[in-house]
Amino acid sequence: MNNASLAITGVTGKLGSRVARRLAKMGQPQRLIARDPARVPELPQAEVARASFEDIPAMKAALAGIRTLFLVPGNAETRLEGHFATIDAAVGAGVERIVYMSFLACGPNATFTHSREHYQTEDHIRATGLRYTFLRPNFYLDSVPTWFSPEGFIQGPAGEGTVSWVSLDDIADVAASVLTASSDIHDGNSYNLTGPKALTLAQTAAIVAEVTGRRAAFKPETIEEARASRARYNATEWDLTAWISTYLAISTGELSVVSHSVPALTGHEAQSLADYLKHNPESYRHINPPA
């Protein structure tokens, strides 16, 4: 092991890998924790440790000597138990600070089911007495094109509610800034991370259509229609409930918050949907592709 005092989980994912690359460019020593080390990017001043949320002895060993843990959540149905176990392993290993990637408007009664798990994870971190910072992003701007079918429809029970999509790059910039702060300025803080504007799904579709030149529209659904339209995916009840609750959370207005945390913590404006689409044409190739 090198002299890394900062460790990151989720480094093979879209967010964790972005944060790790930013830290490497800043010359920050880091320990990259992964279930499969072969998938971890090779970065300067970075070492790799094999561990998973389920393997507590390995996680505790991977966190030995670490002062700050950047905890990127898992995506399995059992992830809450994994979060708790990893937090407990961090305490046992002597970690002093946890920066957790949570979610906007998390709470015990949040509409989006995953938000409730994020709230429980936050609560568990608070109970440890460790220093902490919670980053609470909205839904990823980068995923917007994937919400559209090949026919150009974004559909679900979202009504006229709005969502302030935020880009992965902006979230990663914030995380890198918070993780490398030279003081305890971020301790005990929770930051809502959003894009520059809250949009209805109809407005989202209109921007997609305008920028891409392809047909795109919002198709409202009832909860019953949403369950029926997704039956062909053979999703588990956990996945299906979470999927539908993403739209319901939009409909309630819980995700309409527009925060200035991205510019305040990074020094640049948050990326808009139009700008993302202009710079990432490959992201919407599946939407009404030309004949």
What DSSP string describes the chain? --S--EEES-TTSHHHHHHHHHHHHTT--EEEEES-GGGSPP-TTEEEEE--TT-HHHHHHHTTT-SEEEE----STTHHHHHHHHHHHHHHHT--EEEEE--TT--TT-SSHHHHHHHHHHHHHHHHT-EEEEEEE-SBGGGGGGGS-TTSEEEES-TT-EE--B-HHHHHHHHHHHHT-SSSTTTT-EEEE--SS-EEHHHHHHHHHHHH-S--EEEE--HHHHHHHTGGG---HHHHHHHHHHHHHHHHTTT----SHHHHHHSSPPPPHHHHHHH-GGGGTTSS---
Q: Report how far apart, in Å, the C-alpha atoms of 115 and of each of 92, 248, 255 are.
A: 27, 12, 11
Domain ranges in the chain are: 6-137+168-192
The rounded distance, in Å, linking the Cα atoms of 104 and 195 is 12
DSSP 15-82: HHHHHHHHHHHTT--EEEEES-GGGSPP-TTEEEEE--TT-HHHHHHHTTT-SEEEE----STTHHHH
The rounded distance, in Å, linking the Cα atoms of 141 and 273 is 7
Answer yes or no: are the C-beta atoms of 138 and 194 closer than 8 Å: yes
The rounded distance, in Å, linking the Cα atoms of 49 and 42 is 13
| Percent of the chain scoring above 90 in pLDDT | 90
pLDDT over 90 (residue 122): yes
Per residue in 248-259, pLDDT tens?
Answer: 999 999 999 999
**What phi, psi does 97 have (nearest 5°)?**
-145, 140
pLDDT over 70 (residue 41): yes
We find that the CATH architecture of domain 6-137+168-192 is: 3-Layer(aba) Sandwich (3.40)
Per residue in 243-289, pLDDT tens?
Answer: 999 999 999 999 999 999 999 999 999 999 999 999 999 999 999 98
Answer yes or no: are the C-beta atoms of 102 and 134 closer than 8 Å: yes
Mean pLDDT, rounded, for 220-230: 93
pLDDT over 90 (residue 2): no
Per residue in 99-108, pLDDT tens?
Answer: 999 999 999 9
Per residue in 106-119, pLDDT tens?
Answer: 999 999 999 999 99
